Structure 1
Amino acid sequence: MSAGTIIVIAKEPLAGRVKTRLQTEFTPHEAAALARASLIDTLTAVRATPAERHVLALDGTSGSWLPDGYSVIAQRGGGLDERLAAAFEDAYAGTPMLLVGMDTPQVTPALLGSDWSGYDAVLGLTEDGGYWCLGLREPDRRALIGVPMSTEHTGADQLARLESLGYRVKLLPPLRDMDTPPDAAAIAAAYPDLRLSRLHRRLQHAAHPAVLFEKALEGGRIVATGPDGRMVPGLSEVDRWRAPADAVDRIALSRCEGPVLDIGCGPGRIVTALAEQGIPALGVDISAHAVRLTTDRGAAALRRAVQEPLPGEGRWGSVLLMDGNIGIGGAPGVLLQRCAELVRPNGVVLVEVDPDDGLDDAGAIVLRSASGRRSRPLPWARVGSRAIIGHARAAGLLATEDWRTGDRAFLTFRRADVEPRSLAHLVR
């Protein structure tokens, strides 16, 4: 005997509502995309399994991801135990039913069509202590109501409940749920032809750089490498971004004249240090999380790209490009021209450069996370002191100081008393 009705119980794959545990590695939209792919794989396998009816018990609204051949019923009830019991009741058509979740995309028609003649119920456990399927001959709320859900012992508790009712239970092979990033990676590696697996590979190998920056700001580890495979200083030093300003930072900040604009402020250690000294300062960053971390420290920050209009243009006493941020956009000359527009006449532009004085590399970089994700190429420049002096001169900035402390190198420029050459000339 196999099921006459196969039920898939699922939640509409909307960003922020599904797979929140995947968001330690993926954005809410990426997690939702993985959930959608997993659901489609599951629905496809179920649809390919012979049965009288294929039913989707849905929390939400169906979309283009739903294949033909399904009857859709709305979930009802409070907790998951109530919604499972209701799904069996609402889908019952007088024949045995098998209910499966949306989190085991590796399920096959062979598993779903298993013969459980001679048994009252069928149960497929998951490796994390839950279960991926439950089959009943007819609805029975006693079998579900009050079973603790989403625990490490839900599967064992469900089996105990069935057996306490006198049910003879057939156990199907255990499967791995896709709940966490390691789960997704393991399933993708073991079942490479799944829709989920193809999407996972794309997300692993072509993440948006901002995603990995955001995860680094949350405490994850990233490494930035150039085309030569060499680690890019500054961008790989996540611990320094997140820590308070150190002695070298404070030496650099002693050159500043207020008010100060910190471009690419990250989590705000520089802006915070300036504020503690009573120097007016503003950080700008394209990362909403970086801005939030800065303001949580009590400092001022604005989510804005440096190329966009900024407060106080032409009136800043100092503009900072710390931690290798001279590389932003891969065009140091254009970035320095923008700094010259932002700073007041004779104001300071302070730039942290690569310790290699002769380096002048505008090749893209790649960010890599500890879990194996890597970004698509990000335009970035790595420049040493000799190259940056030439770029600055073209932007109307004159070098006034060149110094290094430990393994970090800095230059200070002042805006010349002449109009900087036009941005159009620099990018022509």
Structure 2
Amino acid sequence: MTAGTLIVIAKEPVPGRVKTRLQTEFTPAEAAALARASLADTLAAVRATGVRRKVLALDGASATTPPGFTVVPQRGDGLDERLAAAFEDAYAGTPMLLIGMDTPQVTPALLRADWTEYDAVLGLTEDGGYWCLGLHRPDSRALLGVPMSTDHTGADQLARLQSLGYSVLLLPTLRDMDTPADAAALAMAYPELRTSRLHRRLQHTAHPSLLFDKALEGAPVVATGSDGRTVASLSAVDRWQAPADAVDRLALSRCEGPVLDIGCGPGRIVTALAERGVPALGVDISAQAVMLTNERGAPALRRPVQEPLPGEGRWGTVLLMDGNIGIGGAPEALLRRCAELVRPDGLVLVEVDPDDDLDDTAPIVLRSASRRSHPLPWARVGSRAVLRYALAADLLATEDWRADDRAFLTFRRCSTAVASTPLRAARR
């Protein structure tokens, strides 16, 4: 072993600033947690080498100094400048090996590799970068101007060292953790790592809204029961993203403004109402859904329906389209909330499951290719169950109608509806 100093170059694991490519499957906070775990695994491997001088070159602030490490701030603009500065700031007259924080599987044996007979040592990564670089003394010529964060950075770094006449020992190529696929592969190959243990926990604890957002972005997501049986696919997202169709417009023709669309999704209903000149507001807990609605030029608010909402008791119509009667897993409570939101003579329009006899209030789990959510309170209910829940919520059904295999019910508050008016049924 020739390195007298081991340098770990790292970025403070702040959500939104680190591991942004992991955020295709993880939240910013989860991606930062994986980065923090990867750094902890790397620091542990460095400690296990027995090397006495250990330096952490940190971009950002650290609440505590890792035991056995000297912390120096990174300096310089680009990564090439920061790497060169890290070698200069850590130099104590002995060879130095610098590694990143993205290869938590690195071992003490790799870090103790003997490169006494070489001028430099380099460890490449599978994505074209490199995970370590060793120099006997600082040499800015070896780093400044080398293109960083490309699929040929490792090759360019090797070429630069060789152009300076350096003999280079190549260490084994490692996979770094940049993407969800990288994180999954490392967790499978190295299950004992802190990073791997965290990854396994995160795989089964995604927030449902995260996976719903991924579905809105086009990722395949299904809903399953607690037994793993698929109960629904979010393939309907294509319909949600599209403009309102003929059945949607038929439902909207019944609306009395202003309209509150609960669980508005990407906003096709609110947009269609605006085009009709009907004032409407969408509410959803998904940030992606609200953003997509706003991008369509329609108003939407990110808020659970259970929290205070604008215009309570003054809405002409409250909508529960696309099976949103299932929100919260308690249809009676949701219908009571709708009765609070609508004005005394207003309308509650509910899309129900086409299976009239369905009454399933068991939680569901959303699953993508690599993650599953924690249980989500939800209900899948047909017309008979909804009629029963509505009556308990002091809502009287005024119409039962279907079109193109979709089923709908409309209600008014019992205090203003004429109880003797028969329920009208319509089919198309």
For 1:426, the equivalent position in structure 2 comes to none
For 1:269, the equivalent position in structure 2 comes to 268
Name the CA distance, whole Å, in 2 between partners of 1:70 and 1:408: 64
Judged with a 3 Å threshold, the aligned counterparts in structure 2 of structure 1 residues 154 and 72 are, in CA distance, closer, same or farther, namely same
For 1:386, the equivalent position in structure 2 comes to 384
Q: Could you list the runs of 5+ residues in structure 1 that have no partner in the other structure?
A: 420-428
Name the CA distance, whole Å, in 1 between partners of 2:343 and 2:334: 16
Q: Is the 8 A contact 1:234 1:324 kept in 2?
A: no
Displacement after TM superposition at 1:280 (Å): 1.0
Q: Is the 8 A contact 2:345 2:416 kept in 1?
A: no
For 1:107, the equivalent position in structure 2 comes to 106
The 3-state SS of whatever aligns with 1:344 is strand
Q: Does 1:9 align with 2:15?
A: no
Displacement after TM superposition at 1:405 (Å): 2.0
Displacement after TM superposition at 1:51 (Å): 1.4
Q: Deviations over 1:58-93 (max 9, x none)?
A: 1111235x5310011111111111111111111011
Q: Is the 8 A contact 1:20 1:31 kept in 2?
A: yes
For 2:311, the equivalent position in structure 1 comes to 312
Name the CA distance, whole Å, in 1 between partners of 2:228 and 2:318: 31
Displacement after TM superposition at 1:377 (Å): 0.4
For 2:290, the equivalent position in structure 1 comes to 291
Tell me the TM-score normalised to structure 2 length.
0.94
Displacement after TM superposition at 1:236 (Å): 4.8
Give the aligned residue type for 1:413.
F
Q: Deviations over 1:170-207 (max 9, x none)?
A: 00000001111111111111111111111111111111
Matches within 5 A, 1:17-166: 17-64=17-64, 67-166=66-165
Q: Is the 8 A contact 1:319 1:348 kept in 2?
A: yes
For 2:166, the equivalent position in structure 1 comes to 167
Name the CA distance, whole Å, in 2 between partners of 1:58 and 1:37: 15
Displacement after TM superposition at 1:279 (Å): 0.9
For 1:424, the equivalent position in structure 2 comes to none
Displacement after TM superposition at 1:233 (Å): 4.4
Q: Is the 8 A contact 1:54 1:69 kept in 2?
A: yes
For 1:351, the equivalent position in structure 2 comes to 350
The 3-state SS of whatever aligns with 1:328 is helix
For 2:398, the equivalent position in structure 1 comes to 400
The 3-state SS of whatever aligns with 2:329 is coil
For 2:414, the equivalent position in structure 1 comes to 416
Displacement after TM superposition at 1:242 (Å): 1.7
Give the aligned residue type for 1:68.
P
For 1:425, the equivalent position in structure 2 comes to none
Q: Is the 8 A contact 1:396 1:418 kept in 2?
A: no
Name the CA distance, whole Å, in 2 between partners of 1:218 and 1:170: 44
Give the aligned residue type for 1:165.
L
Displacement after TM superposition at 1:215 (Å): 2.1
Judged with a 3 Å threshold, the aligned counterparts in structure 2 of structure 1 residues 233 and 246 are, in CA distance, closer, same or farther, namely farther
Give the aligned residue type for 1:338.
R
Q: Does 1:259 align with 2:258?
A: yes
Q: Could you list the runs of 5+ residues in structure 2 that have no partner in the other structure?
A: 418-428
Name the CA distance, whole Å, in 1 between partners of 2:407 and 2:93: 77
The farther-off stretch of 53-62 and 346-355 is: 346-355
Tell me the TM-score normalised to structure 1 length.
0.94
Q: Is the 8 A contact 1:45 1:108 kept in 2?
A: yes
Give the aligned residue type for 1:17.
R
Name the CA distance, whole Å, in 2 between partners of 1:396 and 1:81: 68
Give the aligned residue type for 1:47.
R
For 2:339, the equivalent position in structure 1 comes to 340
Displacement after TM superposition at 1:227 (Å): 3.2
Displacement after TM superposition at 1:394 (Å): 1.1
The 3-state SS of whatever aligns with 2:400 is strand
Q: Deviations over 1:98-129 (max 9, x none)?
A: 00000000000010001112111000000000
The 3-state SS of whatever aligns with 1:237 is helix
Name the CA distance, whole Å, in 2 between partners of 1:97 and 1:178: 24
Give the aligned residue type for 2:127.
D
For 1:178, the equivalent position in structure 2 comes to 177
Displacement after TM superposition at 1:256 (Å): 1.1
CA RMSD in angstroms comes to: 1.5
Give the aligned residue type for 2:52.
E
Displacement after TM superposition at 1:338 (Å): 0.8
Give the aligned residue type for 1:87.
A
Q: Does 1:187 align with 2:186?
A: yes
The farther-off stretch of 169-178 and 406-415 is: 406-415
The farther-off stretch of 303-312 and 184-193 is: 303-312
The 3-state SS of whatever aligns with 1:401 is strand
Q: Is the 8 A contact 2:7 2:54 kept in 1?
A: yes
The 3-state SS of whatever aligns with 2:411 is strand
The 3-state SS of whatever aligns with 1:178 is coil
The 3-state SS of whatever aligns with 1:133 is strand
Name the CA distance, whole Å, in 2 between partners of 1:120 and 1:228: 59
Q: Is the 8 A contact 1:318 1:349 kept in 2?
A: yes
